[in-house]
Amino acid sequence: MFASHGYPRAVLFDFFGTLTQAAPRGAGHAEVARLLGCSPEELTAVLDTSFYRRSRGDYGDALTTLRWVAAELGRRPDDTTLRAAYQARIAALRADIRLRRDAYAVLARLRADGVRMAVVSDCTHELTEILPTLPIAPLLDAAIFSVHIGAVKPDPTIYLAACAALRVEPRHCLYVGDGGSRELTGASALGMYAIRLAAPDLGDHLVFRPDEEFCGPSARSLTEIFTRDLVPA
């Protein structure tokens, strides 16, 4: 699969739907809505329509962004309520995150083989606090969050930030993702070798801007990708 392109020096992983199982919003998000004084449906509508703007950090830091969300809902929570709602958002998102069963083993093998690795995620502030607490965090060399970079996929800026952090050129990188945000097409355009993770559970995954133009290879699991000709036996 990748052998004709040379052994990868680095692997960039998408996070949601790639290192994690499908991640629909769970019951914990209802507590955020309750604290903000709206229905879960109203909150979801604002979150969905503002996802990319929030993921670029357009509205400022975490609390300022959540205050903007509340204002869009016609609410003006006090600072104590706003902080409680933000902590509830972190708890809700953390509850939604279920790492794939093979994620740790795959990353550990790549690290043992000397391959540099980064997560590259379109995300809001909450993931920047959650990811460092996950078991896979010590295996990663870098985490590139759109909310810190100010750019979302497929903008070259976010991929090049990962390459800079790993000290590697794009042509020596493998990119693995489920295809949200047209991430695979964006990676390929920079000369990366991209593989779509097409795991069976992703039919229930929340995806914005699916990568319908990508015609490259796919795999049904992380293990399937890295037990072919990517990783030496």
Nearest of 149, 134, 124, 108 to residue 11 by alpha carbon: 108
Residue 180, pLDDT above cutoff 50? yes
Nearest of 158, 140, 147, 67 to residue 103 by alpha carbon: 140
pLDDT in the model for residue 233? 32
- Report whether 173 contacts 142 (CB < 8 A): no
- Report whether 211 contacts 46 (CB < 8 A): no
Domain range annotation of the chain: 3-23+99-226, 29-96
Q: What interhelical angle do 79-96 and 62-72 show, nearest 10?
A: 100
pLDDT in the model for residue 71? 98
User: Per residue in 38-82, pLDDT tens?
Assistant: 999 999 999 999 999 999 999 999 999 999 999 999 999 999 999
Token pair of 171 as six digits:
């042509």
What topology is assigned to 3-23+99-226 in CATH?
Answer: Rossmann fold (3.40.50)
Q: What share of the chain has pLDDT > 70, as a percent?
A: 93
| Average pLDDT over all residues of the chain | 92
Characterize 6-21 residue by residue with b for buried, 16 or more Cβ atoms within 10 angstroms of its Cβ, and e for exposed: eebbbbbbbbbbbbbb
- Report whether 84 contacts 36 (CB < 8 A): no
**Bridge-partner residues for 11, per DSSP?**
117, 174
Residue 164, pLDDT above cutoff 50? yes
Maximum distance among all Cα pairs of the chain, rounded to whole angstroms: 58
Q: What interhelical angle do 29-36 and 79-96 show, nearest 10?
A: 170
**Residue 92: count of CB within 10 angstroms of its CB:** 19
pLDDT in the model for residue 109? 92
**How many alpha carbons lie under 13 Å from residue 136 in its C-beta half-sphere?**
26
- Report whether 164 contacts 141 (CB < 8 A): no
Residue 159, pLDDT above cutoff 50? yes
